[in-house]
């Protein structure tokens, strides 16, 4: 199982908003495929999947999460 955590997009960034998921709950994703999009006060960025498998989301779109917080797992 792979953990999907909120990345650190910059040195001064401590949190970001999950603005979109590209693979639905229970969907299959391939490593390197776009998985979700985050937004900070300065940038919006698409994050790729770290693994291949079935996505189980723990996070909600529109919510703010701290860097390192667990967003999903890939089984």
What are the φ and ψ backbone dihedral angles of 5, each rounded to 5 degrees? -115, 155
Tokens of 46: 């698409």
Domains for the chain: give ranges and CATH numbers. Answer: 2-74 (2.40.50.100)
CB 65 within 8 A of CB 72: no
Q: pLDDT by residue (tens digit) across 12-70?
A: 889 999 999 999 999 999 999 999 999 998 889 999 999 999 999 999 999 999 999 99
**Global pTM?**
0.93
* Terminal C-alpha separation, the chain: 5
Measured between alpha carbons, how far is 29 from 63 in angstroms, rounded to an integer? 22
Tokens of 49: 């999947």
């Amino acid at each position: 199982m792979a953990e999907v955590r909120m990345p650190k997009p910059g040195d001064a960034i401590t949190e970001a908003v999950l603005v979109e998921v590209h693979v639905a709950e229970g969907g299959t994703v391939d490593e390197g495929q776009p998985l979700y999009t985050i937004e900070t006060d300065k940038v919006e960025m698409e994050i790729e999947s770290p693994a291949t498998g079935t996505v189980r989301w723990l996070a909600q779109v529109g919510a703010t999460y701290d860097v390192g917080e667990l967003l999903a797992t890939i089984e």
